[in-house]
Amino acid sequence: MQAPVGAMADAPSATPGPVVALKGVTKRFPGVIANNNVSAGIYAGEVHVLLGENGAGKSTLVGMLSGLQQPDEGHIEIGAKRVTVTSPRHALSLGIGTVFQHSMLVPSLSVVDNFTLGGAWWKRPDREGQAARILETAARLGLRVDPFALVATLSLGERQQVEILRALMRGSRCLILDEATAMLTPQEAVSLGELMRRLVTEGLAIIFITHKLNEALAYGDRISVLRLGKNAGEIGPEELRAHTDAENTARIIALMFGSAAGQGEAAMREPRAPGPVVLEVAGLTAGSGRIPLENMTFAVHQGEIFGIAGIDGNGQKELAEALSGQVPSRGSVRLNGREIGALTVGGRRAAGLRYVTDDRLGEGTVATFPVAVNFLLKEIGSSPFWKKGVENPQAIRAQAEDHVKAFDIRTPGVQTPVGKLSGGNIQKVLLARELTGAAEAVIFAKPTYGLDVQNIRATRARIREAAAAGKAVLLISTDLDELLELADRIAVIDRGRIRGIVENGPGARDAIGRLMSAGDSA
Amino acid sequence: MFTETFLITLFLGAVMAGIPLLLAGLGEQLSEKAGVLNIGLEGMILAGAYAGFLTAWASGSSAVGFAGGAGAGALVASLMVVFCVILGLNQIVIGIALTLLVQGLTALLHFVQFSRSYPRLDGMQSWRIPGLAEIPILGPMFFSHNPVVYLAVILVAVFAWIYRMTHLGSALQAAGDKPAALDAAGVDVIRTRALAVLTTGALAGLGGAFMSVAVAGVFIPFMSHGNGFIAIVLAMLARGRPLWVLGGALLFGASLSMTTALQVAGVNVPVDVIQMLPFAMVMLVLLVAGRKASLPAALGESFERGAR
């Protein structure tokens, strides 16, 4: 963490002090210190990236700058004057405009009504005048916005542009973009980056919060790294320009994860002799999903990781649900030679088939239930955790504490509702539930989707462990690099069909690419 | 059967029975728009009926009665504001509790004061609009009513205008759909919701006073008789459109007043069957239109800044 004085010395001589500065800000929540003595300076004409993994305290920092929360210790300075930001409105009047990760527009109102929200209530909104101003500002920034469109009809990227526009038109000098690219398509993310660059040339200060390294390097002038709620370091504009992207990347990774977790090239999986067939799927056909599955046939051996590659939305979800028994299907599914295609979800689980869903908070866990109960979600009522229908709290607690330790789940306690944990920790809860006990075959659906680097690593290690322990692993992923790193064999799925199966090894990437683009001829 | 007398009786009955529904329904719509599911509506109507009757009886003026009814409704609503809007307690639980409280309290107070007698108010005078009221058929149907009837109909237009054309309308919509956005825009969500709920209480109370003072001329314990719940259904089905509340209120009012109209027409149908009509109507309408009902996203959720 650099002292603000040092930071000022770094800045070009023409630049005055920071527009907004955080001075030793600390914020505590029950059980956690979200921010611990964080300092940072935000300068006009700069995109200041706040980088950190999930749970590093980025959102809390935004909350304090935008007036949703007040720091417990330390303070915020605006134009070198100490201020207490009491409310979002106060933040706006101080020139801090925030675009939150989740849209803050009212979906049932038009764009222009969202802009006029907050006017004196007895007055009629000046819709025409406001619309003209919106169009004028949008044109200046190279954005296209229909002021009379209902917000609910806009895409997420368009909504974000509207929010940026609104923040600017209310006179923000410092714009905060909280995880702004998380919900965007890649194209939308790129145009957001370009917009940020245009805005800073107009003299605006931007705080861009992200956990994506490449975005930080592509759009940032100054990068601050947060780790476990503390400043882990800051890289100023000169330093950033003086080094290559690769050098900066290495430096940032070291800051984000400590020196222990370098960007070591993941070794490809050792080839191994396949064991006996564990999971055998033949002629699997299912018509109830969005993408009908047609005549899928494959087998997964003991100790093997069998990858399913393909562009998202080509039947991956449907395949996982058909195998786990969540949707009806025809054809044969055998586990260790036993036909399980006619069994219910519970029956298949009892037979040893496990499914780690990608919908972690939807079908994976019940957000309001404690962590301890979520471990047992698929076994409610079974002994020894329930005796004759009566809960046995000691057994549940003991098992939960074992899991928390074994899977390194960061939670204030086993009675904490699972919804309060970060995405990575929720995934660990799921893994703990599905990988323990008598698992024979495990289906992973996009297991690292939406996780940060460290949790991705931990999850991949678990998948490897599962295979090493002799389980048959079906790994459905849209990340080809992940499959090439983990899988023994990789099948390509396209519009509900298996287009081909490739042995992982040199040349696998090309072969998979060809199968993906083969189209209907296959 | 469909004689002139029958139709006029039915229409007038629909108006008399429909006005409390209309007022309460408009109020409920306002609350729901702002994100508060006001289950206490039944209690607010009943409080208005009791207080309206009492003040009208004591003062001898129906206008005072209406004001008293509205005030009592708002008073009950203020409890709703304290518990649900400010303290953020469960809206359904508090709403039911308020209804039960008012039911018991009004019955008790009425018993203490009047024992088992039910004093009557003098007949209500209506406002005959000069000239127009003399037109045959249309005159008695449209231009010879209690002032509250005209007020209620005017309110339909006023609310429609507020929702579409004013900042207040946008603010209410935001309070129900995305309160955090309203907060970020610098409007106090709690205050907006409190305003909506208090207005709801006043309107429901006025509706109750209309029942006891203008229609029945007497207060009978539990006389609101499910009107509040019908009004909640109306408001939900109307999906934010005041004109739909008017249509629905007249429809339900007509089925409520069917008994009288049929008796006037000399048709002999068991009373029980006819009294069942409005509730059968509710179910029918729910079956037909209920599936399309869309409610504000944050309906029933309390607002706390920065909470996720």
Please report the residues numbered 18 through 77 in chain A whose beta carbons come closer than 8 angstroms to any beta carbon of chain B. Answer: 63, 66, 68-69
Going along chain B from its start, the domains and CATH numbers come out as: 4-115+149-292 (1.10.3470)
A313 touches chain B (CB under 8 A): no
What is the CB neighbour count within 10 angstroms for residue A389? 6
pLDDT of residue A14: 45
Tell me what the pLDDT averaged over chain B comes to: 87
Q: Which of B100, B113, B104, B23 is nearest to B66 (CA)?
A: B23
Residue in B173, B186, B306 nearest the CB of A108? B173
Domains along chain A?
4-98+164-257 (3.40.50.300), 277-521 (3.40.50.300)
Q: Are the C-beta atoms of residues B21 and B200 closer than 8 Å to each other?
A: no
How many Cβ pairs within 8 Å bridge chains A and B?
78
**Residue of chain A whose alpha carbon sits nearest to that of B295:** A108
Nearest CB neighbour to B166, from listed A87, A114, A121: A121
DSSP-derived secondary structure letter, A309: E
Interface check B297 vs A, CB under 8 A: yes
Contacts of A88 in chain B (CB under 8 A): 183-186
Cα torsion A286, A289, A291, A297 to 10°: value is: -30
CA–CA min distance A306, chain B (Å): 39
What is the β-pairing status of strands A47-51 and A222-227? parallel
User: Using a CB-CB distance cutoff of 8 angstroms, which residues of chain B are in contact with residue A69?
Assistant: 306
- B180 in A contact zone (CB under 8 Å): yes
How many alpha carbons lie under 13 Å from residue B197 in its C-beta half-sphere?
A: 30
Contact of B173 with chain A, judged by CB distance below 8 Å, is answered with yes
User: For the segment B242-298, what is each residue's pLDDT rounded down to a tens digit?
Assistant: 999 999 999 888 888 887 777 777 777 777 877 777 778 778 877 877 666 567 888
Q: How far apart are CA B240 and CA B286, in angstroms?
A: 16
Q: Could you say which of B167, B180, B296 has the minimum Cβ distance to residue A120? A: B167
pLDDT, position B308: 43
**Residues of chain B with pLDDT > 70: what percent?**
95
- Percent of chain A scored above 90 by pLDDT? 25
Strands (E), B68-182: 127-128, 144-145
Q: Quick one: pLDDT band at residue A270, thresholds 50, 70, 90?
A: low
Cis amide prior to A384 (ω within 30 degrees): yes
In 3-state terms, what secondary structure has residue A484? Answer: helix
Identify the band that residue A520 occupies on the pLDDT scale cut at 50, 70 and 90. Answer: very low
Q: Where are the beta strands (DSSP E) in A253-399?
A: 277-286, 293-301, 305-309, 330-335, 338-339, 353-356, 386-387, 390-391
Sequence length of chain B is: 308
Is-contact B43 B98, C-beta < 8 A? yes
**Per-residue pLDDT averaged across A276-296, rounded?**
87
Give the pLDDT confidence of B16-68 residue by residue, as tens digits: 899 999 999 999 999 999 999 999 999 999 999 999 999 999 998 889 999 99
pLDDT at A47 over 70: yes
Task: Tell me which of A245-254, A460-469, B163-172 is least confident.
Answer: A245-254
Q: Which residues contact A340 (CB under 8 A, 6 or more apart)?
A: A325, A333, A334, A347, A348, A351, A353
The reported pLDDT for the residue numbered B293 is 59
B103 at A interface, C-beta within 8 A: no
The interface pTM score, or ipTM, of the predicted complex is 0.79
Residue B290 confidence (pLDDT): 65
